[in-house]
Structure 1
Amino acid sequence: MSQASARVGAITRFRTALGDSPPLAWAFLYFFCLLSGYYVLRPVREAMAASSDIEAVFPPAMIGFFLDRGVALNEFTLQVIFTLVFVIMLLLQPVYGWLVSRFPRRVFLPVIYLFFIATLLLFYCMFDSGIAGRGLAFILWITVFNLFAVAVFWSFMADIFSNLEARNYYGYIGAAGTIGAFVGPALTKTLVERLGIANMMLVSAALFSVCVLCILKLRKWAVLREAQRQQASGEIPMGGSVWAGLKLIAREPLLRWLALMVVLGVGVGTLLYNEQNAIARSLFTTSEARANYFASIDLAVNSLTLVVQLLVTRGLLSRFGIAPALLIPGAAIILGFSILSASPLPLMIALVQVVTRASEFSLAKPARETIYTRVDRQWRYKAGAAIDTVIYRGGDLTFVWVHKLLSAFGSSVVFGAGLLVASAMTFSAWRLLREAARLPAERKV
């Protein structure tokens, strides 16, 4: 089959899916705007994290505090950032647990996004006025946003679509996000040096406002699915403990293996990201140039992701289930880190980064999320969110310090350790598949 025929076939299948499932169009728009808005800002985050202007990243008082104790913050920028992110996640997890336990879905979903929109307007003012320490505040904010906003998106999708529908449609929904993730850095690449970083906050806020509209439109299909399957309604509070998500993870084997797989996947990404960050700091001297570089990486990742999602993901999930989609990325990452441990060239690092992130977004992530269509809402909104926030950032925190230790011995040692982590991640994916096989096709709440 030619590439043109494959594209025509993919478009035809997508149009058929839109006709069969009216909520798919709104879910498509929702994820497109969510990741467009995020990826408009992601290059700004990377530029701040790699900035050599320490006063743009950290508040003067914080710089002085560490200098008085003989510590130069510019030597520990990423370690300090990842530590603070983890602390914030620990503090916010019970707040999120309280929100989803005490309020119905129609309240807490819009509230989460409206809060992030309001804070973006605040960041516009901070960057426009050049307030010292704006970099740290923004990096912490966008990291929290990415994890919570994406986590609640997929939890909401599991309220709307059945397991069979998820296997048929999550590839398309993921492609919508990838298109958005392609448009976002393209906007930044085109506009940031012309308009400045501050105005990118307003572009992103407008896109997140569309997400709120999509939530309101999709709610009726979530209610309908719950009524058809006689499931507990998401229009009433879930109740339960604010720490219920972490308790579920500790109790349920499937969630434990899922959490371990996520942590090890984060470890692979963190080791790779830190090496790439060090390269960017040495090669580029301005925030705008670094933002341009990271936008180029994002464009490459999202281009490959989109091709896989449109041509491979749906067929793989619908015909063979989640096993290939979970195991293929592990094999690709093992191969990539094997090459890097022998030859850690900058171009090869960028290439492996593209393959690693693209395989996660196009295959592993949709496969993991289909599992949540077969479990109850406590698992989706509480355990799933805990894995994607506190546990995810716990992995980040662990491996950012591991990288600091290993980097003293050179890039080959870093990537050799990454190879071991990637192998363990693939083993945890295999164990997760064994646990998922025990789930019913549709679990009643």
Structure 2
Amino acid sequence: MTAATATRWGRFRTNFSESPPLAWAFVYFFCLLSGYYVLRPVREAMGASSDIQAVFPLAMIDFFAAHDLDLRDFALQVLFTCTFLIMLLLQPVYGWLVSRYPRRVFLPVVYGFFIVTLLGFYLMFHAGIPGRGMAFFLWVTVFNLFAVAVFWSFMADVFSNEEARRLYGYIGAAGTMGAFLGPILTRSLVERIGIANLMLVSAGFLSVCILCLLRLRRWAVQREQARGRSNGELPMGGSIMAGLTLVAREPLLRWMAVMVVFGVGIGTLLYNEQAAIVRRFYTDAAASTSYYATIDLAVNSLTLLIQLSLTRLLLSRYGIAPALLVPAFAIILGFSALAASPLPLMVAIVQVITRASEFSLAKPARETIYTRVQREWRYKAGAAIDTVIYRGADLSFVWLHKLLSSFGSQLVFVGGLAAACGMTVGAWRLLREEAKLPRERTTGAPQDAG
């Protein structure tokens, strides 16, 4: 073990010993992403399945057939559109939940709901019910966005801004390790126990999340009290649509949304164009699968490396500016290269840089901002950005890719370059708004009314 490695390991142990909630948060995020990544391969298989009756309800298949359309030709477009519509329907439900019930009630309810529905999917897959693929595809997408949004909102209740800058890198690394474990479990177990039983494996991980959540609640209450407030255990009140209203009204949240929209656009354009390029260069299914697997492994490896070595240093010493701007500039350079040379290797490199920088730097940096704002901003506006706005951007850029790709890959990457510039402008304006926030105090009068 080198001296630098020993120093990092010693710092890691010190942070765990000095911050008891860190261990619970570590286990929480590890189990959350383990549970999600157990299910993700099933979702991808459903989205790409040639068994149309396994994916879509018979009534939908008959409707398309009656209009002389083959649903197979529109499978992904239908799934993405339905995902966005579900987000629109669920956002008011989530807003009502957080407005009417205290934290100790609605957080376990959110995860309890996901566990119950997983048991329902266990029955659906076990019985081979038609349309199970579409239902599961939509459910996993909603689960990923809502469950992770709730996690980071709750972390902003537990940790102060200074603690977040020091510890969020470790917490993010726990999630990355969960992202490693989940696919390994799926690959090892699916042929032995079947797809249906994978639902029970994921439900087990989510049950541990509820335990961690309940254990962390007392530190969230202590932080509220230290800041002169005790309202964390009371309902927030307000409108069920307050999340979207806040995003429209507050400059900081608007620029946060701008960053997310263009960040999603970059990922969507790159993902879709990558698929098109792979189809041209890799005609063998095994070769294309190996290509994608290599990318996933590289993304997770680079993410974990940055989280353990760089994220904490940047956030604690220099604040969030480098963590937001460095990835943005790197993506601009990457898309500039792709516009000049859209080759599979270059696409893979930019894909790794884009995803790893988002998971390891940009996402933790954005989440630290929520430690310094009102709870309604964290739980309502944050969830609105991560669900409705996120999926709206995803859907918009899916169709934009359809248009740009008709003129060739280079125009797609020029569009991606424009989106990267938009994300950089959003990051710069977000930093200006973040600088206006009051510095967090550990004692004294409350800083906000939330």
Alignment TM class, shorter chain as reference: over 0.9
The separation in 1 between residues aligned to 2:115 and 2:287, in whole angstroms, is: 27
Which secondary structure does the structure 2 equivalent of 1:171 belong to? helix
Which secondary structure does the structure 1 equivalent of 2:308 belong to? helix
The separation in 2 between residues aligned to 1:111 and 1:198, in whole angstroms, is: 23
Q: What is the correspondence of 1:41-440 to structure 2 with a 5 Å cutoff? A: 41-278=39-276, 296-440=294-438
Task: Return 38-47 or 309-318, whichever deviates more.
Answer: 38-47
Deviation for aligned residue 1:232: 4.4
1:4 maps to 2
The separation in 2 between residues aligned to 1:285 and 1:66, in whole angstroms, is: 31
- Identify which of 421, 424, 448 aligns with 1:444: 448
1:157-210, CA deviations, whole angstroms, 9 ceiling, x for partnerless residues? 010111001100111111111111111122223333444322222211111110
The separation in 1 between residues aligned to 2:232 and 2:322, in whole angstroms, is: 32
Residues 221 and 230 in structure 2, CA contact (< 8 A), matched pair in contact too: no
The separation in 2 between residues aligned to 1:188 and 1:7, in whole angstroms, is: 32
Going from structure 1 to structure 2, the CA distance change for 1:36 and 1:310 (only over 3 Å counts) comes to same
Going from structure 1 to structure 2, the CA distance change for 1:222 and 1:295 (only over 3 Å counts) comes to farther
Instruction: Using the aligned pairs only, state the percent identity.
Output: 71
2:443 maps to none
Q: State the AA in 2 paired with 1:244.
A: A
Which secondary structure does the structure 2 equivalent of 1:237 belong to? coil
The separation in 1 between residues aligned to 2:129 and 2:345, in whole angstroms, is: 35
Deviation for aligned residue 1:228: 0.9
Residues 31 and 209 in structure 2, CA contact (< 8 A), matched pair in contact too: yes
Task: Return 3-12 or 248-257, whichever deviates more.
Answer: 3-12
Deviation for aligned residue 1:343: 2.5
1:130-167, CA deviations, whole angstroms, 9 ceiling, x for partnerless residues? 33222211110011001110011011001011100110
Which secondary structure does the structure 2 equivalent of 1:212 belong to? helix
Going from structure 1 to structure 2, the CA distance change for 1:142 and 1:353 (only over 3 Å counts) comes to same
1:261-291, CA deviations, whole angstroms, 9 ceiling, x for partnerless residues? 10110111111222344567786999x9998
Deviation for aligned residue 1:59: 1.9
1:109-137, CA deviations, whole angstroms, 9 ceiling, x for partnerless residues? 00100110111122122223333222211
How many residues are aligned here? 442
Which secondary structure does the structure 1 equivalent of 2:232 belong to? coil
1:72-108, CA deviations, whole angstroms, 9 ceiling, x for partnerless residues? 3222222211111111011001100000010010010
| Cα RMSD (Å) | 2.1
Deviation for aligned residue 1:391: 0.7
The unaligned stretches of length 5 or more in structure 1 are none
Which secondary structure does the structure 2 equivalent of 1:432 belong to? helix
Q: State the AA in 1 paired with 2:448.
A: K
Q: State the AA in 1 paired with 2:436.
A: R
The separation in 1 between residues aligned to 2:364 and 2:293, in whole angstroms, is: 24
Deviation for aligned residue 1:405: 1.8
Deviation for aligned residue 1:339: 2.2
Q: State the AA in 2 paired with 1:179.
A: M
Going from structure 1 to structure 2, the CA distance change for 1:105 and 1:137 (only over 3 Å counts) comes to same
1:204-258, CA deviations, whole angstroms, 9 ceiling, x for partnerless residues? 1111110000001000000011011112421110111101111111111111010
The separation in 2 between residues aligned to 1:280 and 1:31, in whole angstroms, is: 33
Going from structure 1 to structure 2, the CA distance change for 1:239 and 1:106 (only over 3 Å counts) comes to same
Task: Return 42-51 or 18-27, whichever deviates more.
Answer: 42-51
Deviation for aligned residue 1:427: 1.1
The unaligned stretches of length 5 or more in structure 2 are 441-446
The separation in 1 between residues aligned to 2:414 and 2:78, in whole angstroms, is: 25
The separation in 1 between residues aligned to 2:315 and 2:370, in whole angstroms, is: 15
Which secondary structure does the structure 2 equivalent of 1:242 belong to? coil
Which secondary structure does the structure 1 equivalent of 2:428 belong to? helix
Q: State the AA in 1 paired with 2:10.
A: T
